[in-house]
Structure 1
């Protein structure tokens, strides 16, 4: 841990990829298979600790080289297969993550895991969002409601991608929606929940 990391509180940063028509879920449906692993590795680059929902963890943790060397905190209601460096987050996720943000250390990066991102927005725990936009039309899927996001950076990436950075402001509620992508940023809201329990285990994950 660097001196800078020791002296400041953690942020929670969502990192995901998006099609040109605004779809942010299941990139395996609209990105070529050979490119997908590289995209996940790019999202994980420079990251010490990642937060993953069960589906994303089970799909990528054992197959993407860029996730092998990082600490993986997994939020799931049922046991998952173990991969090196992985830990199940115990206790009420909202309470544990709220406490972890107050402990000096490296930022927590959420890779994909849209259900988790939705919950973090509802809990007002998400600080930043980084989106890698690909020049591919997905046609159908989940779009991101960006009304609570403030664009702070936009630059060209590789192979025609754009990289957009946002700060999250909670005057409006961020949400996710599942729609046919007939409009570039359209969509209706959909609610979801994450597993909770009465016991917190903050010390184990500090």
Structure 2
């Protein structure tokens, strides 16, 4: 089964929307190129598709699957997904092939989290304060990797863990680079120990 992986930039104060507001314009195209590097197929929401698909080199040659409820201008290697997006994406995950990477598209990422279809998240964290904007709810993320990038950036990789009941405890405090400290309230059932017999 293929995975759906979100790739986002984030400011050091946790803002993940509208990076064009808090990243220098010349650098933004390169950042999107980095987020798309090594991917064969990307998932894009309508706004991200219209804003970047035709202008960013890293998105021109990859297969682009677009979720849009209104018509969009065609770009090469693009397909608009038809039908109920939750069912379509759940079916796409079952089709053998390369992982599906979501580039930007915060609304789409939130929907994927709500539908429990998102598997991994990669955040490229920039040493810039956005000041205001939208933060991503990271309570269900488990940090699995953290490495230093160029120009003071950090790349944080997360695995998404969905609670069995869908209810998580309240966040006690947020970590500087996007981690959180909390106490899980997911009930667990006791397991019978497995014994090996000679």
In the alignment, the residues of structure 2 paired with residue 94 and residue 63 of structure 1 have an alpha-carbon distance, to the nearest angstrom, of 28
Aligned with residue 150 of structure 2, among 158, 167, 182: 158
* 2:26 corresponds to which of 25, 31, 34: 34
Counterpart position of 1:168? 160
Matched, 1:93 2:98: no
Larger Rg: 2
1:22: which partner in 2?
Answer: 14
Map 1:116-131 onto structure 2 (within 5 A).
116-131=108-123
Instruction: Give the aligned partner of residue 51 of structure 2.
Output: 59
Give structure 1 regions of 4+ aligned residues with deviation exceeding 6 angstroms. none
TM-score (norm 1): 0.80
Distance change >3 Å, CA 139–CA 58, structure 1 → 2? same
Deviation per residue, 1:121-147 (Å, 9 max, x gap): 000000000000000000000001111
Note closer, same or farther for the CA distance 1:173–1:134 as it changes in structure 2 (3 Å cut).
farther
Partner of 2:100: 108
Q: How many residues align?
A: 169
Residue aligning to 2:37: 45
RMSD over aligned CA atoms reads: 1.4
TM-score between the two structures when normalised by the length of structure 2: 0.83
Query: Which ranges of structure 1 fall in alignment gaps of 5 or more residues?
Result: 1-8, 175-182, 186-206
> Does the 8 Å contact 1:53/1:75 carry over to 2?
yes
Taking the aligned partners of 2:81 and 2:134, their CA distance within structure 1 comes to 26
SS of 1:141's partner is coil
Aligned partner of 2:186 in structure 1 is none
The answer (yes or no) to whether the contact 1:122–1:173 under 8 Å persists in 2 is no
Q: Which residue of structure 1 lines up, in the alignment, with residue 73 of structure 2?
A: 81
